[in-house]
Amino acid sequence: MDVKIAESWKARLQPEFEKPYFTQLTDFVRKEYQEQSIYPPANLIFNAFDKCSFDDAKVVILGQDPYHGAGQANGLCFSVADGVRVPPSLLNIFKEIKDDVGKSVPKTGNLERWASQGVMLLNATLTVRAGQAGSHQNKGWETFTDAVVRILAEEKEHLVFMLWGAYAKKKGAMIDTTKHLVLEAAHPSPMAGNAFMGNKHFSQANAYLREHNLPEIEW
């Protein structure tokens, strides 16, 4: 499969692209884009792999579905396109960053600035129908992104994994905690109350990177 992703990802993911499940997934997704309104735009489905190469990855944040509102999803979990109102979950993330490391809440919810520093912003499911949360779950994306997490966990060391909510924690269960830093918290959604707040993940991540002589993230 020919997709726009960093070369260091392309080599590692080619075996997945050639598996029968991925062929079926590709056929399903292609048909959906032809017949339905699907997010993100097709050219941004693999944006997380294009904006953050395997070689550069230092932090991995796991999301679930892309945003399903018009113009929101840009292929990076929790991120929205420039000019789009910051969603509630992302606003809570920004508030926690302000409380944790003192950085002001930004005007834009576009997280490409994180990706360019080595933050892998990976959704478990990479596409969704407009207005229908979870509509592309159990079609093969989860098998693919499980493989991505496994490749990261096995082939790299000293990564920081941020697992927010029960779904992300379950997906990250395979990660070797003696080799990587795994930070767990409640989901940042306001529906979880204030349980996400006060987790200090962003300062902990930078302390761990610093400890292993890796550049810190400018959150």
Residues taking part in catalysis: 65
Contact 85, 106 (CB under 8 A): no
Q: What is the DSSP string of the chain?
A: ------HHHHHHHHHHHTSHHHHHHHHHHHHHHHHS-EES-GGGTTHHHHHS-TTT--EEEEESS---STTTB-SSTT-B-TTSPPPHHHHHHHHHHHHHH-PPPPS---THHHHTTTEEEEESS--EETTBTTTTTTSSHHHHHHHHHHHHHHH--S-EEEEESHHHHHHTTTS-TTTSEEEEE--SSGGGTTTTTT--HHHHHHHHHHHTT-PPP--
Other Cβ atoms closer than 10 A to 40 = 23
Give the whole-angstrom CA distance, residue 163 versus residue 185: 7
